[in-house]
Structure 1
Amino acid sequence: MSSVVRHAGRGMAPVAGVLLIAITVVLAGGVATAALDGPSATVPPSAVLSLSATDDRIAIDHRGGDPIDVADVTVRVRVDGEPLDEQPPVPFFSAAGFRPGPTGPFNAASDDAWRVGDTATFRVAGTNDPTLEPGRTVAVEITADGQPIASLETVVEAG
């Protein structure tokens, strides 16, 4: 009996294995680089806020937690589930749909930081729709750099 030894097929397995390992290492390095160079997740400030509404005035009290950089804040107001036609730009002094001169950190002339004990107020003009009227529900969503800080709701009271 003669035995035939074939070596041609066996030499490919180690080469293919080394090649697969090299591809895996290169891909893993690319994923790690992308993960480390990608945008870092920012943590929004943690704050305890409360909402009140009387006639055309909305007030938001900062009751506890981190200071909030007003330059990063977006405020969205809904009345009975409908968004105001004109949303408050923050900070501002005079803006379409609002009476001039908000108070506290929403006023453009105030400090950029909204701190514990500060109350931000603004008055919705009668030209903004829907209007604030006693008995209506007002919901306010506050975000910083697109991250939610608070969702508040109250009923408008007569002044």
Structure 2
Amino acid sequence: MAPVAGVLLLAITVVLAGGVAAAALGPSTATVPPSAVLSLSATDDRIAIRHRGGDPIDVAAVTVCVSVDGEPLDEQPSVPFFSAAGFRPGPTGPFNAASDDTWRVGETASFRVADTNDPTLEPGRTVTVRITADGQPVATLETSVEAG
């Protein structure tokens, strides 16, 4: 009886080890966000984000969330866009709907916040921009608004 139990325990161990190995080595379902070095500037009503290094970013997968002094803008930019509520038409770089869908090193994406969006950008206020790609965080950037 003991040899049969030993063989059974060994078989269970092998099956469990195989399952763990398959789970560890199998395809990953998690999306890995791009790794990028970005910088932020804000002058009057313009927010500019420069891609300084790292992976290219698929703009179609990007979500941008802007806060001023900790309060989110009433209207958030849905990128890419050309004209959107709460923003002046014609963002530049990869945030413009007419641009290439890939944000590469050296490119600056910028947009202008309309006076109708609240809170407004005013010199001295702190702007925070959170960027995600496919729901995964890419960067959180912060700067003070400067007079233009």
Q: TM-score when scaled to structure 1?
A: 0.82
* Contiguous gaps of at least 5 residues in structure 2: none
CA RMSD of aligned residues (A): 1.9
Q: Which residue of 1 aligns with 2:120?
A: 131
Q: Which residue of 1 aligns with 2:62?
A: 73
Q: Relative to structure 2, which stretch is displaced further, 140-149 or 79-88?
A: 140-149
Structure 1 residue 38 displacement after superposition: 4.5
Structure 1 residue 36 displacement after superposition: 3.5
Q: Which residue of 1 aligns with 2:133?
A: 144
Q: Which residue of 1 aligns with 2:90?
A: 101
Q: Kindly provide the amino acid, as one letter, of the partner of residue 73 in structure 1.
A: V
Measured in 1, the distance between the counterparts of 2:7 and 2:16 equals 14
Measured in 2, the distance between the counterparts of 1:154 and 1:41 equals 31
- The structure that has the greater radius of gyration is 1
SS of 2:66 mapped into structure 1: strand
Q: Which residue of 2 aligns with 1:9?
A: none
Q: Relative to structure 2, which stretch is displaced further, 33-42 or 20-29?
A: 33-42
Q: Which residue of 2 aligns with 1:16?
A: 5
State yes or no: 1:121 paired with 2:121.
Answer: no
Q: Kindly provide the amino acid, as one letter, of the partner of residue 81 in structure 1.
A: G
Q: Which residue of 2 aligns with 1:54?
A: 43
Q: Which residue of 1 aligns with 2:76?
A: 87
Structure 1 residue 106 displacement after superposition: 0.2
Measured in 2, the distance between the counterparts of 1:47 and 1:38 equals 24
